[in-house]
Structure 1
Amino acid sequence: MTASIIDGKAHAAGLGERIAASVAALAGTAGTPPGLAVVLVGEDPASAVYVRNKGRTARGVGMASFEHVLPADTTQDALMKLIAELNADDAVDGILVQLPLPAHLDSLAVIDAIDPAKDVDGLHPLNAGRLASGLPGLVSCTPLGCLMLLRATRGDLSGLDAIVVGRSILVGKPVAQLLLAENCTVTLAHSRTRDLARKVAAADIVVAAVGQPEMVKGAWIKPGATVIDVGINRVERDGESVLVGDVEFGVASRTAGAITPVPGGVGPMTIMCLIHNTLVAAYRRRGLSVPRLW
């Protein structure tokens, strides 16, 4: 058996087309397009690339993009003041503060200061609590992208056995909550889980988000399982720097029914889900019914 490759770029492009149509419809009704504000503190090259990509993607679907680049020595008070201004700015529907922040800044306090209705990264405690309670709210972008890919690949997920390897608040825990809401039976595992191979081998769905290169071995994968690899790790191979996921792709792709590549799988969906969340926030803030996009 050879797994089908889940093309995250193609799925993200399709979602982007549907978002663009809804952005145009909202702008025609409300008079202004949705607005996304992204805040970058410092000069980390990777973060700067992410911020540029997010702004370009927002503009590509017709949204307004507001990019705030602050020096690395920005104080906590100055950053909190900017967050308060963005909360009050009616042109801004979504706020994202690029993480990680410089070590002298309190990331949790910054996240907590963002208006939950504009928290398009889905990290505010109120949104995390609503997800855990099964209530509507803004959902973290990478977990939402994982769910979109799973639904597109497998359709109804009800009754399937799923394992999530990784327990972070950014991916592992919210993915588990989303799968529970889809009526999956979910095991939340991590790097210290005993007999992980046996648990993975019993799963119809494997979501790997542990941050360790190829920790999930291909031989563990159940025949026909769907594998969503969130990991992105840079390693040296034959004298070259290459990107690999948290799953041993080469072996797993000979057993799985479907698998995401690294890169080109979950990554493109993460940015597009940020844009999706901004659209959702814009409709909700205007008291309008949110269109169904996936």
Structure 2
Amino acid sequence: MPTPTFRVGGEHEVRRLGFGAMHLPTGPADRDESRAVARRAVELGVELIDTAYMYGGGANEELLAEALHPYPANLLVTTKVGVEGSGPPADWRLDGRPHVLRAQVDNALRRLRVERLELLQLHRVDPEVPLDDQVGALALLREDGKIGHIGLSEVSVSELSRARAITPIASVQNRYHLFDREHEPVLAACEAADIAFLPWRPIAHGKAGADPDVTAVAAELGATPTQVCLAWLLARSPVVLPIPGTARRAHLEENVAAARFGLTTAQFDRLDRLGRPTV
């Protein structure tokens, strides 16, 4: 069985299967159910929850605080800054200017009702602002005690290396799943440096259930295709911390239960071949 926990930043030991809060609706009609989903995640043993300012312009952060504050001592809530806008994702833009990052961190502290963000991730690298300025601003906030650990999202190996030359990096959050291995080199770099790798969109919805190899392994395990995809991620590397998201308690319970399924070497290899580039 894969190692069940990982120590983020060498400090926060969490169960490796986390929860992405992005899909939780924050409107009045759905708010009670969204809070119930967040609470159920903690009841099921989830110890890592991912949110971001971009998710509703801070509304997702406020929802988590309503549901979970005061937070359990073993719960790591991570948020992200570095984008500005309102409304749908298409209306947002990257903004990594230091004064914007500082303001967003202060607002995240207020919304999450904490004095320190234990893990704060740069949502995207703003190409219009030097990387040194963006990461440097977060490093100064860390020195001020407002951030515990710094992470990055959607970065290349080169960007990760440059950031690490400025300050320690505890996590990387890139798109990655069984059928999408674009960021395999980044995962390798994280594994070499013991950096947590949080794959967003960890499940290939629609594709996993139609793939005969995935469904065959699912039948062998008595699992669902979704659980097989998550089990593969957990087996892929000890630094991988999947953060599947959902707005439904039943789906949440299905996701969390994936940690119970261990793949045999043959099953892992059969799945692993699916996303490898053909020569």
**Structure ranking higher on relative contact order (CA contacts 8 Å, 6+ apart):** 1
TM-score class, shorter: 0.3 to 0.5
Q: TM-score by structure 2 length?
A: 0.33
Larger radius of gyration: 1
